[in-house]
Amino acid sequence: MGLIKSIESEHGLIATYWRISVLSCDETGTAHLQLSGFPNEAMRRAGKKPLVLCSLSLSPIFGVFDYSKQPEFNPHQKAYALIKQRPEFLGAEDL
């Protein structure tokens, strides 16, 4: 799971493949995540370091959640959907 969106870094490099590398949720339902940006998915799969790291907080996206009532809930899927609503990721495509 990841996103495709070409974004230029502050160093002038283009990251095209974006993946959530860290996702945690606090007691208020706020998701804290780190997005890693790579030139492409193949570079990430090859174990290369990301060109860009972005820290984001999405508040509140989960609320108080009981997994026993919805075991199919996918927090990464929900987070990616909300990331795609941010101005810098408008038009991003799912991978």
Q: Which residues contact 85 (CB under 8 A, 6 or more apart)?
A: none
For 18-31, the pLDDT digits (tens) are: 999 999 887 777 88
Q: Where in the chain are the domains?
A: 3-94
Whole-model pTM: value is 0.84
Helix (H, G, I), strand (E, B) or coil at 77: helix
For 54-82, the pLDDT digits (tens) are: 999 887 665 555 555 666 777 888 889 88
